[in-house]
Amino acid sequence: MSKRSDTVVTNPWGMLRQFTSGRIALGRTGISLPTTPQLEFQLAHARARDAVHHELDTDTLQQAVMGLQLFEQCVVVESSAGNRATYLQRPDLGRRLSSTSRQQLQLLASQSKQVGAYDLAFVIADGLSALAVETNAVPFLQAIVDRLGQQGLTLAPVTIVRQGRVAVGDEVGELLGAKLVVVMIGERPGLSSPDSMGLYMTWGPRIGLTDESRNCISNVRPAGLSYEEASYKLHYLVGEALRRGVTGVQLKDETPASQLEGRLSNFLLGG
């Protein structure tokens, strides 16, 4: 009987696998994948599906946010998509708050002691991976608020949105009277990243804005863009947005070459 090592044909560029979590250079057995990579693919696919359907544990997340002792309040609201199935089938409903949640935020804003607009509002939405925000939202908030602390910014109550998509942050920011909103949301799971969180920042949030009005920082997670480096980038963008009064296509990430974790500089900016 042949040994497994005799039946699996290795790929000559297998050494490149050390640089990526992507499925490359898996080898072959005849015209098929070897058993181990095939089983790993099926497991990753199952994890991605689970992440999409996972319901956000809002109670635990709310307690964790308040446990940071960085914000006066953390409220839980919901989009117009009443459940997960509706959310997945009707993306438009995930972009707007339910009427009850809208009234809840209007009341919260009317009771605020803040004079004038908040500088910044953080919104946490489950998106397509509640697992991502359950895992990454709180440690990232800690990292970014530590950086923002010296600027004396006024922070709105943190808003957690069930069944929310990116654009729901525009409505939240508008209701709370925030100059700038940052939406922390679970990204569409990949086959190697079911826990990836995205950050979307918008100046002058209001209903009807589209993607060109936002800046995005993607793949925030321990195995992707670290909390330290993501907060470094967002801190820069927040400062520039407040200074210039713009986001989206009018505001670029021009942070100096990052030395964090030994990452290479942005080759598009030279250096």
pLDDT digits (tens, 9 = 90+) for 22-70: 777 888 888 888 888 888 878 777 777 777 778 999 999 999 999 998 8
- Helical pair 168-176 and 99-110, crossing angle rounded to 10 deg: 30
Distance, CA of 160 to CA of 8 (rounded, Å) = 49
pLDDT band with cut points at 50, 70 and 90 for residue 260: low
Question: Shortest CA distance to 233 belongs to which of 243, 221, 218?
Answer: 218
Can you read off the two tokens belonging to residue 98? 């339910």
pLDDT band with cut points at 50, 70 and 90 for residue 183: very high
**Percentage of the residues of the chain whose pLDDT score is greater than 70:** 92
13 compared with 225, residue with greater pLDDT? 225
State the burial class of residue 83 (Cβ atoms within 10 Å of its Cβ: 0-12, 13-18, 19+). exposed
Can you read off the two tokens belonging to residue 249? 């296509």
Model pTM?
A: 0.84
Domains of the chain from N-terminus onward = 52-252 (3.40.50.11240)
User: Per DSSP, which regions of the chain are E strands?
Assistant: 74-78, 118-125, 158-162, 178-186, 197-203, 214-220
Summarize the confidence of residues 162-174 as an average pLDDT: 97
Average of per-residue pLDDT values in the chain: 88
Please write the tens of the pLDDT for every residue from 186-222. 998 877 788 999 999 999 999 999 999 999 999 999 9
Tell me if 63 sits within 8 A of 134, measured CB to CB: no
Q: Across-strand partners of 190?
A: 193
pLDDT band with cut points at 50, 70 and 90 for residue 258: low
What are the distances in angstroms from CA 224 to CA 130, 181, 229, 256? 17, 23, 10, 19
> What pLDDT is attached to residue 6?
60
Tell me if 74 sits within 8 A of 145, measured CB to CB: no
- Helical pair 227-244 and 130-148, crossing angle rounded to 10 deg: 60
Distance, CA of 181 to CA of 206 (rounded, Å) = 10
Question: Shortest CA distance to 124 belongs to which of 60, 179, 177?
Answer: 60
